[in-house]
Structure 1
Amino acid sequence: MGERVDDEELERLVGEGAELLLAGWGSADRAAVRDDFDEWFTRLGLDEYARDVTELFLQTKLPVRKDLTAMWRARLRVGARVPSDPGAADELRALIDRLIPTVLSDPAGGDLIDFRSGTFNGPVFGVQHVLNTYGASPLGEAQPGSLDWPLAKDIEPLTHGVRPTGRVKGLPALPPYVGRDQDGMVNSALEQARSEGGLVIVLGQAYVGKSRTALAAMAQVVPEYRVFAPAQHEDLRKLPALLRGRAERCVVWLDDLDGHLGDRGLEPRLLAQLTGLEAVVLATMREDVYDTYVRTSAPGRLLDLANTVELPVAWEAAELKRAEETEDPRLVVAARESGTTGVPAYLTIGHRFWNDWQRDRNPGRHPRAHALLRAALDLARCGLKGPLPQHLLVTVHEGYGIAGLERETLDDAFEWAGREQYGVLRMLNRSGLKKAPCWEVLPYFVHTAEQDEGFPPVAGWVWGLAVEAARANPSAYDVESVVAGAPAGYLREAEAGDGAAMHALGLLEGGQGEGEKAESWFRRAAEAGWTESAGRLGRLLVERGETREAERFLESAAEAGDDEAATLLGKLLRDRAAKWFGAAAELGNPEAARQLGDLFLAEGELVQAEDCYLRAEEQGYAEVARSSGMLHLLCNGPGAAQVWLARAAAAGDGPAAELLAHLGSGPQPLEETRDRFSFSEAYPLDNAHYGVIQEEQGELAEARKYYEKGYEVGDAYAAYRLAVLLEKQGNGEEAKLWYRKAADMRHPIALAVAERPGAPDTVKE
């Protein structure tokens, strides 16, 4: 209906509501009508109107309908427009929809509602009184033949005042009757009334099971009696005339006795007449109403004549045992969970709560309260039995995506869900400290959801939070039970292709020691694109030695930001690189030897690194310069390190140049530095190195000799060093010649010099 109804819709709504309220006054199920309207007004803060509802239903005679209808239309209009509750009109519509079937299905009907003078723009309902159909009454004249009333043994409880419980597929509408400890007293009182006549009242609080107990006693003690069940406020004065002279015996069934008292109803003289006709009067009455009537004159005198049996709310252990022995799941759960509430109240109010909650997802009603109850219900279905931390409920309820949460604060939602309603139960029961409140959902909700095949299953992400909560507080929850149930919770989503659910199943199976199952789920999740599973699968494969297969999964995880997967992949690739660099080095590849040496150097394996670098040096592989320089630096040979790093820097190696700058410059002891090299034909690069050492010692002729030897074995660096030396000596023309030779050998600095204006042509040897 939305936040606000238009005027036309509002008038139709309040018109239906007023007619329903008055029809309910004359209905056999008047208590339900009274309670629902009372609660609606109370929830809206209209306590005065709520009290007026109660007073209206205590009256024994309905005032003039036209004036009364107008009054209640006005009051319902106020309620539907309460500014503080935009969902009030929706609640009224739900109330009407809920009660119409109850009133319409009442075989005793109710007062006749005459819509002939009304104008309505939508569907309307009417309830007609079977004993007062436009003035014709079967009580007017006694008719010959049998009374066309049902036998006591055939009475249908739901049409004679017993409130419905939740339906379960494959089970009867009502659970079987469970004997109360007071049955003997009720049966005894009814047997006495059968022999002597009189009034028997089963007394008790609302929702205590009065009607069911009384009807069960009726079926057992007087099964062949005909049952007359008049509507509320029916004129009973002609009933004796109808019964007089008949052989059949009768039970007058007056559920909610307060609706049958007064001048036209049951009073001491009429009771005496019925007793004389061997009729039994069996009634039920609420304790609060009984206490009100015993203080008045005429009704009080009648009640003094009654044989009253009081039914307690809480069930004794023997009664609960009998309920469990029925094996009806509704009764089994109620016996276990109802506590001091009592089984009947638990079943009937739980059923009403469930229906109310199903409607409260509407943004105009209580969407946040609905979501919080759903969270508590789902967590309980996961196995988190007992109180749940409020912060956990808040986290879960936000994940459902229910619209309209912003229209209801958390405090308001918890207040509504935790409020005692119908004077009996709460949907959420609060416990714990004020700063750390906990909430427990009504067990009826859990049982009903588990029995309802159409109710949504618990989502996988909720199972995940439930497992975390159980493990975080093992003293409060059965961790094994929650963990054991989680796979089934994830399975549906996993089979539908949800990678997150597959990953969660892998974690659960792994935690239970099911390695093969865990790996299977991780593989499925990884193939579905869930990179977290790819990382885990990669690690599992590495542990098993299947490194090649692991690499693709680790790479997928690494690309998604998994640093551990990236590190492990790097190690695998390094190890594999070492293998193939080693193979290439054995085949004589100097680049592979240098790369392998770098790997050894990084691992601190200096002997192996030196062996690899020497292999490269033997082949005149100048690119090994920085690596060799680093090795000499680590082996405390700064002079030799400078020589190698100078070579690398001259070739354009930036890091080598930076290291060289940090080392500083200056001559090194000739013998000490020379010892760091292996001057022989086997190491062609060392010619230039010896030239550098000689040059630093001032032995320029010796330096030129070694540079020329280096050039002869194809070392571009040797030619470059000689060019630099000649330039220092002022021999520019010859320096240009050697720069050109070095450039022809692709030395980078020599190339740059050769490109300058005035550089000589290439020298051909």
Structure 2
Amino acid sequence: MIGALATSLITILILPLLTNVLSHDLEAWVDDHPLLAWTITLALATLLATAAARVVQQPSRKAPPELTVSTTLDPLAMGVKPAVPGGPDTAPTMPTYVERDFDESLRWMVADGGFVCLRGPAAAGKTRSATEAIRRMCQGRRLFRPDGPAALLKLAGTANAVVWLDDLERFLGPGGLDTALLEHLCAPADVVVIATIRDAELAKLQHAAWIRDEGAPEVTDAGARLLTQLDPRRMIAVSAQLTDAERGRARSTLDDRVRGALDGEGGFGESLAAAPALLQRWSVGEGALFASGQAVISAAVDCRRAGYAAPVPFAVLDVLHRHYLPAPWRNRGDLPSLDAALEWASQPMMGASSCLIPLAGRRYLASDYLLDRTAAGAGPVGAQRVRAPVWAALSDVGDDHHLVTIGLAASQEQVYEVSERVWLRAAHHGNEWAMLLLGMLLVQLRRPDEAEEWLRRAVEGGCTPALGPLGYLFLLRGDTTEAERWMRQGATAGDVGSMSVLGLLLRRAGNDAEAERWLRKAADAGHPQAMVRLALLLAERGAVEEADQWAQRAVDAGHSAALTTLALLQQDPSQAEPRLRRAADAGRADAQALLATIYAERGELARAERVARGAAEAGDVMGMMVLHGLLAHRGATEEAEELLQEAARRGEPTAMTALGRRFAEDGDLAEAEAWLRRAADTQHAPAMMLLGALFLAAGRIDESREWFLHAKSSGARDAARILATHFPAGDGS
């Protein structure tokens, strides 16, 4: 009985997983659930919203500001946060630098040239460590501090230079830093590109690099893919906490601020910059001035969360801060002026950092630290969505660049009406990225004719990443020939996402040889999903060792889903299990579901159910289906049925097909058709076959033929035979 259960689970779940790994991107485009469709379809673009929006102004095309590196290089000019002063009568100075354990390696990399990046949490000391390395190793070189992606283009080929990219995510938006540009920048042997990035931004980009790859051809993931291709040894981790050796060096300094920070709240760098005091000032207080100051900080933080990370104009804060006042204060006549509230919010804490950074033109920028803490759920707006007036106000002041990033942030919060409105405005101004994103949104909103218009206009405007999504649109219409034509154009133009999906389409057409060529090209370019697809192709033809190598490369590139594929390549469950455990530990609920099937196969049903329940509770539809099977096996039919329906509601094709079959058997043909259509819309061939059979039995011949043709193009083996038998006009050939 256990063997039969295991066989059933493997047949229903494991084997379709291999297909779904190949076809998941098609499903993501047409799934009704926004988290499985639009969010995945635009995951990278959405997750790059903060990064792209960090460009403070529309990128300048003037040459970046140039300095000459010397021993007097000012850390504040490099972006180091102000520190607490040494005492009431002490002139402001930088604290004594505490040598970090990684400094020797960092200095060697800076001297060697090329690219190096320091990563860590806000206020960990990344910028200070980089500044000290530049000051020590690059004296006499020209130092460039570009203000955005466009300014980088001016530096290609520049020799004897240091290119300083503080907050790397600012340079990774549409048209920003990618592999080719970085290679141009680093071509001269005497050039070093040194960057910093906060862990919160890096995690979003790395996550995006693989989740986006599971979806449609790439749109804006060149920057995220760049991060996956970097030598991990040149990504130096900067911890907020000092090691024992670093603490020893800190204690030996004569700087009281350094020694005091060792016992301060939070990390060492945070204490020096008084960062925890910022959160305290924003969160705790009383009285009219606190209420107004807190409100204006909240408004500025939400402007950054809404994709507008430029300094916010006084007039915008004047409008918005009123929406963040506590209810009892909103109609008070004795509130302090906005000038007073901004002065309070801009006051340095302990003589160091401030909640708002005042800039020229009466503009204000919220602190990085407060933005990160809000993303972690802390602070007055940490558990809240961006408020509606923010979207409206920013839409009116943003230029086309900001309209794109505001729309991306709105899509992250699933406020799609805002995304459509701002992208439509920018698209009418001729912005190709807005045309592309608008077209993709309209696909999700099931407005294909409008989507096609904007995607074609994006292509005509030279936006080659729109070629792949345009191909998807034709694929959704069932026109695989036209879909392949557009995908091939995208692949030929160098879009590696299109290469990967073209490989998928060619495999479905039985052309594995050409599919392998495109998949190898995309995989060699660092596309993790292409690596996974190539691994599966190689495994099917018996080249398991090479398949394993490509799956491992995908894992090394940050594609945690590849851990599941890597495990599946192991025919011995005892070898697969450790890798699935690694994937589960990395947060892969689908790996938990697969672990549950292994436990079920060897008779550990209680353990299997416990692990499957964890996957199901994490929202994994495969986990729901595994748990459904286990519960049905032990007779818990009511809960099993609830799980099946929940998986179907979340768009799991097997569940939707099972429900459709059940309704058909019960004679409820309308409900059966509804569920089967939803499943078929995800390119699920079994649902197409059932729809064809349902319509054939009902005498709806033309519709029946259409669905059997769809099933045939999706690889259903019996579709050609049925077409030849019931529709002998040559459609089964």
Q: Same fold (TM over 0.5)?
A: no
Answer 1 or 2: higher relative contact order, Cα 8 Å, separation at least 6: 2
Calculate the TM-score normalised by the size of structure 2. Answer: 0.29
The alignment's TM-score, normalised by the length of structure 1, stands at 0.28
